[in-house]
Structure 1
């Protein structure tokens, strides 16, 4: 999308001006009328769809009467609005400028008429403001007159919405008690009611006071159903404002691991997009109920996206982080979305290490035991600094003669090490210390720990002291050692990402070689697992659940080594290979090849690239695909002869360049490329929404979680329009108006 006005002689830019910008209409006839009024031949050969996506006109080219203010933060055009105010007179006196801009020639009479129309429009606007002359509602879009009772009711609703917004922003549950407990006598009022009372008594809210004065003493100010309805309206209005910029360009869908809200499973959904300042953002947009089969979930997701006003045809990427039993469903959804929308490229998420994503995608019991135990470990040691100190003391005991190794492990354990690229290497090194630590906490000889802490310690101890866990951990460590450097580079600087994509073939070749020689590799890995189990004093045996399910015949015994080769080592290697192929499809790799448009990457490659060979997937996103080869050549020449200067090294830095607007195809490619979830968020503010989402989950017990409250808390600094909320609520629930 262009960030400047498409009208001739207009120099207004969207990122440097407070002026409003409007998209060209998709309707063919209306779009043709807009183009004719612009008198710009450059626009005549462009399709209405491309004009709608790539070009804008600023508000100075429209009569004030066709611009409607829908709310304090939302302005739109009337349905039949056309631009009529243009300054083309300078083009008549400058032939060279006329040739460059290719503006249609106007006669002097036409130019005078256009100037006169603009002057009359300005005078009319001033007269309307000074004299206060009213116009017909259909022309000015003024709301209908409200009765006195309706005004009072809306003021009352505004007070309720203000209180709800405060509760949401501060993450205060509306009710401190469950619905069953609320029926009991002698309980304090809900948080919502308490704030309303305080607002009336201390804040002097007349709308609330008058409402309650005329109501019965025991009347409910707002039923729980009405509260939920109002919270949904708050959420929808804030989301609508948040997604205004997204609707004007491309985006990507990113989902996080399934979370529980009030006992029900939901998928958190994020939207990744470039704002008008070409800064990459990833915003939380809501929760999706995780119920039903893959087809049902996909249709529900598409329905929600459409409800939010987003067009999946503009989706250019998708990433889904999931674990356990949910992983297979999310992979199926990703596959179905890719089939339906081929340009929605499935990639890993930049917010999660590749090795962790690969491990979560392996649908084997032993692997899922490891990943679920990692979650328990992370949660356990984040509860108290004392527990972290206990672990560090255990590390010091085990690495008494190797202080350097001990310090490295302590430093690793102070981070979220279970989500690192080398998580499985760290786990193997620290597992003995972990077991010593949790056993000590469970024994609780000095009575330092609570019952809940000792119980959690016992759960972790039981998991660690199982040979299936040890074997799975060792297999993961060795298998994913082939992808560790690849995954780390994938989340590194842009130049590393480009070369990582080029090295995928070598990674897959190594893993396939392991699979071809699985007997040899398994022998070494199993021996390592046995030695680690001996150090932990864990017996080597076949999992009990397997023996119960598949009882061996009398006189036969299943050997652990053969069992784990068949049911662990070989399947893990096979599934990791499959996961890599799913993550890095040909479309994904083709997209990453366009990282050569970043000047620093071009310089590293000595400016020898051939991006135009992979243009087909994004041809419809380009303003003029036919000129791409020539434009790419000019783009390379532009940077090749810069001398010894520091070249922009990221997509974000390149998008901020002033000259990039002169390369519209390159600009379009960079904007699409930046949306790929595999690329990191370079701006510090870009992932603020995700951080607040994680804080919400950490600080809010499951029983107090609410979808709408979570949304308002995460977007606590979002703008909101109380009048718009009240209008929306009254329209959605007219039966509640009294």
Structure 2
């Protein structure tokens, strides 16, 4: 069964909950009473066996696990086991949706990922649960190769029909893609926002803003450079010994910054997408990385496997390419203009709200850079040439570019037009698009968090006009009175060490029952994709998904197993998994119990 078929099958599970299959063989009908005997088995035994089977199936594709048997179960065929997993995937999805209910939510479509022979877009749902915990859940996937109209139709079908969510409660959209994929996702976003204006388009806090905008750059050289950086990270994170090797590289490249070395060692591979200065770090460790990779093949005695040596050799070739070096240096320098913004958005709610006034200044600065691109590009190009010289890389136009014999096209001129200018252009548009007036107004509500109330000028701005979300407020007529009372409440407690500094802490206060409007606004902030996901004891599921991708080869990945590994909560799902399997795949469940 193909992965796409597996996904479609799982999406139909909810239909099987409500109606019996119409087309069944006589043999299956005759066996149904016998299969029902499985329900007589001790329920705890069924639960234990199914949990063990799901766990084994998830671990079987992990290249870091030892002694895996491919997820095979002795008395169950592979196709039967896949059917059970699909049923369980549907149960996990339904369990998550039951927690969403009719509350506010937002949509997040992550970058395309290779599953077998297919490229799929991961679909995430963000909401706040009944315990006021911010949640970001992996819900499924959509084929990246659908045309624009088909993509829009498929996404609408998934959200509205399969998930049964009402888009009038959607308060945010975040879509990560470049080139044609970006165009398709923007088309969907526009259609949603046309009908539901409060479904604001933003970036996602799963990535630093610098990582976010750079991953959607429609510049081939930059896309290839980012792919190379990804391969470097995957390589060094594949084993503990290789990660230690990267720690040594970081110590060499950042030897003049002990605090930074201490911050990154042991953490860089898992956190670089969330860092606002990752390109700066890569530029500083580029030479040590190249030197280290070259030593892999000439170590004596040979301590690395042939597979590792071959991978290292390929990475050296990618790094010792002037096209990569130019793109890397350009990314480092252009991202410096949004470094402070990116860092503030990650830091805390007060910093994020306070940074909003800087956005118009950032755009003005970038426009000046664009006007004087010749000067800026020359500085960046000189820096790239210095890197190339130290790495022994020839300075030239890419081999893929056809240059007529009589042409005077020089590398500097080529890269100004092919990399530097479009990169600056893209960043200008990204800042404007991702920080629209509505988004900035929405982020102002972060100043409602008590620690910001009396120290943030943005709180005062909330009194100037009716709020963006006035239609969502339970008592809009008393909003301004409520604001004044809220300020008085916290004005005398600024010095208290117990003053809440997170949305979660604020929502859990007993007094929130008297501030219904502020309670609603803070819950909307919980689901806005750009606000930081507060750690409230829950494992960050996007991080789990990134770990899943890092620990599996593309050929071994399964959309079904990805959802199960990331989203399964056995305390919530296991009883329903058993019940649904007894309805849909009773004989297979019986076979699992025989192991």
Q: TM-score range with shorter-chain normalisation?
A: 0.7 to 0.9
Are residues 436 and 607 of structure 1, via their aligned partners in 2, closer, same or farther at CA, if it must alter by over 3 Å? closer
Are residues 161 and 426 of structure 1, via their aligned partners in 2, closer, same or farther at CA, if it must alter by over 3 Å? same
1:268, CA displacement in angstroms? 2.0
Match of 1:359 in 2: 214
Listed one character per residue, the Cα deviations across residues 267-304 of structure 1 (whole Å, up to 9, x for unaligned) are 22222111112121222222333331233222212211
SS in 2 for 1:375: helix
Are residues 567 and 687 of structure 1, via their aligned partners in 2, closer, same or farther at CA, if it must alter by over 3 Å? same
- Match status 1:668 vs 2:520: yes
Are residues 644 and 531 of structure 1, via their aligned partners in 2, closer, same or farther at CA, if it must alter by over 3 Å? closer
TM-score (norm 1): 0.67
1:161, CA displacement in angstroms? 7.6
**Unmatched 5+ stretches in structure 1:** 1-146, 177-188, 197-220, 732-738
Are residues 666 and 425 of structure 1, via their aligned partners in 2, closer, same or farther at CA, if it must alter by over 3 Å? same
1:380, CA displacement in angstroms? 0.9
Partner residue of 1:264 out of 118, 127, 133: 118
**Unmatched 5+ stretches in structure 2:** 1-28, 63-68, 587-595
Rounded to whole Å, the distance in 2 between the matches of 1:274 and 1:392 is 37
1:558, CA displacement in angstroms? 0.7
- Match status 1:625 vs 2:476: yes
Please give the residue correspondences for 1:402-413 in structure 2 after superposition, counting only pairs within 5 Å.
Answer: 403-405=255-257, 408-409=260-261, 412=264
> Structure 1 stretch 489-498 or stretch 703-712: which is displaced more?
703-712
1:631, CA displacement in angstroms? 2.1
Rounded to whole Å, the distance in 2 between the matches of 1:437 and 1:326 is 36
Match of 2:54 in 1: 168
Rounded to whole Å, the distance in 1 between the matches of 2:393 and 2:129 is 55
Contact kept in structure 1, 2:210 and 2:342, CA below 8 Å = yes
Are residues 482 and 394 of structure 1, via their aligned partners in 2, closer, same or farther at CA, if it must alter by over 3 Å? closer
Q: Indicate the structure whose relative CO is greater, using CA pairs within 8 Å and at least 6 residues apart.
A: 2
Rounded to whole Å, the distance in 2 between the matches of 1:632 and 1:432 is 55
Are residues 240 and 395 of structure 1, via their aligned partners in 2, closer, same or farther at CA, if it must alter by over 3 Å? closer
Partner residue of 1:576 out of 427, 440, 464: 427
Match of 1:122 in 2: none
Are residues 227 and 341 of structure 1, via their aligned partners in 2, closer, same or farther at CA, if it must alter by over 3 Å? farther
Rounded to whole Å, the distance in 2 between the matches of 1:243 and 1:395 is 43
- Match status 1:478 vs 2:478: no
- Match status 1:286 vs 2:151: no
Match of 1:507 in 2: 362
Listed one character per residue, the Cα deviations across residues 19-74 of structure 1 (whole Å, up to 9, x for unaligned) are xxxxxxxxxxxxxxxxxxxxxxxxxxxxxxxxxxxxxxxxxxxxxxxxxxxxxxxx
Contact kept in structure 2, 1:328 and 1:363, CA below 8 Å = no
1:407, CA displacement in angstroms? 8.0
Contact kept in structure 1, 2:38 and 2:582, CA below 8 Å = no
Listed one character per residue, the Cα deviations across residues 588-632 of structure 1 (whole Å, up to 9, x for unaligned) are 111011122222211103796132555464222111222222222
Match of 2:35 in 1: 153
Contact kept in structure 1, 2:448 and 2:459, CA below 8 Å = no
Whichever of the two has the greater Rg, that structure is: 1
Rounded to whole Å, the distance in 2 between the matches of 1:680 and 1:645 is 24
- Match status 1:695 vs 2:550: no
Rounded to whole Å, the distance in 1 between the matches of 2:450 and 2:34 is 61
Are residues 623 and 685 of structure 1, via their aligned partners in 2, closer, same or farther at CA, if it must alter by over 3 Å? same
Are residues 284 and 614 of structure 1, via their aligned partners in 2, closer, same or farther at CA, if it must alter by over 3 Å? farther
1:676, CA displacement in angstroms? 0.8
Are residues 560 and 722 of structure 1, via their aligned partners in 2, closer, same or farther at CA, if it must alter by over 3 Å? closer
Rounded to whole Å, the distance in 1 between the matches of 2:129 and 2:370 is 45
1:541, CA displacement in angstroms? 0.9
Match of 2:10 in 1: none
- Match status 1:350 vs 2:205: yes
More helix by percentage: 2
1:641, CA displacement in angstroms? 4.1
> Structure 1 stretch 353-362 or stretch 410-419: which is displaced more?
410-419
Contact kept in structure 2, 1:158 and 1:722, CA below 8 Å = no
Rounded to whole Å, the distance in 2 between the matches of 1:576 and 1:606 is 27
Rounded to whole Å, the distance in 1 between the matches of 2:446 and 2:301 is 58
> Structure 1 stretch 689-698 or stretch 677-686: which is displaced more?
689-698
1:408, CA displacement in angstroms? 4.4
Rounded to whole Å, the distance in 1 between the matches of 2:544 and 2:495 is 42
1:252, CA displacement in angstroms? 1.2
Are residues 191 and 635 of structure 1, via their aligned partners in 2, closer, same or farther at CA, if it must alter by over 3 Å? closer
Listed one character per residue, the Cα deviations across residues 172-196 of structure 1 (whole Å, up to 9, x for unaligned) are 58999xxxxxxxxxxxx985541x4
Partner residue of 1:656 out of 508, 516, 533: 508
Contact kept in structure 1, 2:123 and 2:142, CA below 8 Å = yes
Contact kept in structure 2, 1:278 and 1:655, CA below 8 Å = yes
Are residues 433 and 332 of structure 1, via their aligned partners in 2, closer, same or farther at CA, if it must alter by over 3 Å? farther
SS in 1 for 2:481: helix
Listed one character per residue, the Cα deviations across residues 394-430 of structure 1 (whole Å, up to 9, x for unaligned) are 667x77xx95348845863533264221111111111
TM-score (norm 2): 0.82
